[in-house]
Chain A
Amino acid sequence: MRIVYHLIVLYLTVHFLWYLAREKKFWKQAGIVLVLIMFLLRLFLVE
């Protein structure tokens, strides 16, 4: 189960990174970063 959870989080994290690079407006990029922090923490810290 844990690997499935991590794969889902990784999939969404990659999407957020893609949107971060693609987005033109600064405030939208900043908004993406706020969500990205949670996903990176989940990806690396949740056992």
Chain B
Amino acid sequence: MTGTETMSLNRFVRAALLFALTVLVCVLSGREFLSMRAADAIYPSPGLTAARALSDYFPALKGTPGDTPVYVYAGPKDGGNVLVIGGAHPNEPAGFVTAVVLAENIRAVRGKVVIVPRANASGFTHSDPQEGSPQRFPIATASGERWFRLGSRVTNPIHQWPDPTIYVTPTGQTLAGIEARNLNRAYPGKAGGNLTEKVAYGIMELIKKERIDLGIDLHESAPEYPVINAIVFHENSADLAATAQMELQAEGFEFRLEASPPNLRGLSHREWGDAAGIRAILMETPNASHGRLKGKPSIGLIIDGKDKFYEKAARLGRLFVPFGPDGIPLRDRVARHLAGLRAILAGLTELDPGKAVEVEDLPTADRVRVEGIGAFLR
């Protein structure tokens, strides 16, 4: 064998070894990547009366990444119908974890509660780029750790691409192109629109077909954002929001009241009220893990909500919520959402007894703060 042939053979062996290494890297990273597409398990409470999918209300979503579970809890007594949405923004964990806690605990006594815990299912299948966010976070339960996906604020670009330069919402407002994948800018949706608009349209169809009277959208916002610890309300729900706020203050929870601006289109608290004529409320809790001032993203930041940069920002008066060394843990944010839900349902009963919705086994904020979220997950 000549020297040139040996060199050539070495080159091919090297190429084969490098290719094998490439395949190994692809298999390992591909497995992790694909695992993001698997939906977290939800174990509905025995009070569940019907498990459906959003595609049952809008069949064009069937088989698409926009389809998502819908849980219905109907009580034996007549009353109102309430829709609770979590996961419109899958990077706001208290929103969707609260919806899961509800789905795994409640039983309706009067009226009906419809829960969509993962409203933007596609947003749960990827992470916000260049953020270095953890892909999942754990919550300890009696049956072991439950892991939840931390997704992105917007629909996965694999499912909806490309973004336009400027996005025009279904009601005609112009926004930055990336907002074309933001579910909470896509209402009232379009039957023939992009995937996000179809999901929004599906939720509007659900509102019509389930005869919803009140919609509640659970969110989180960054501590430096002024709409925080807030109840955002459509003008048709000002009385309900104010009643709930008074009840919450009596329990020691400070909530701001924010009127939904009539010229800010595409949001749930605007379009649910305008297009479907239902009472519409959105709640925000403070989440340091998706704020711009945070330090290193980590599971600890999501769960414990501690961050020294936010502490400093609070000392400098740059935040709209108090932020101390104890941070704002997920447990407290979920407790706050649960307290808000309880107060809103009580307010609805007080203001409109014919539309009253009563539920049993709704975890109290105090118990969640003391026992942890995991005590209320199966």
**Contacting residue for B33 out of A20, A24, A36, A45, CB 8 A:** A45
Contact between A44 and B30, CB atoms less than 8 A apart: yes
Contact present for B21 and A33 (CB under 8 Å): yes
> Which residues of B lie under 8 Å from residue A37 when comparing CB positions?
22, 25-26, 29
Do the beta carbons of B30 and A23 come within 8 Å of each other? Answer: no
Evaluate contact between B22 and A45: CB separation under 8 angstroms: no
Q: Tell me whether B15 and A41 are in contact (CB under 8 A).
A: no
Which chain B positions have C-beta within 8 A of A24?
A: 7, 11
Q: Are A33 and B18 touching (Cβ within 8 A)?
A: yes
Does A21 belong to the interface (CB within 8 Å)?
yes
- Number of B interface residues at 8 Å Cβ cutoff, please give it: 18
Main DSSP-derived SS at the B contact region: helix
CA distance A20 to B21 in the complex (A): 13
**Chain B residues, Cβ within 8 Å of A7:** none
Contacts of A23 in B (CB 8 A): 11, 15
Q: Is the CB of A47 within 8 A of B158?
A: yes
Q: Is B292 an interface residue (CB 8 A)?
A: no
In whole angstroms, how far apart are the Cα atoms of A29 and B19 in the complex?
A: 10
Contacts of A17 on B, CB cut-off 8 Å?
Answer: 19
Given A41-B33, A46-B158, do A21 and B25 touch, yes or no (CB 8 Å)? no
B interface footprint on A10-34 (CB within 8 Å = 1, 0 otherwise): 0000000100110110100110110
A8 interfacial contact with B, CB 8 Å: no
Residues of A within 8 A of B (CB): 17, 20-21, 23-24, 26, 29-30, 32-33, 36-37, 40-41, 44-47
Nearest first, the 7 A-B pairs at minimum CB distance are A33-B18, A40-B26, A21-B15, A20-B15, A33-B22, A36-B22, A37-B25
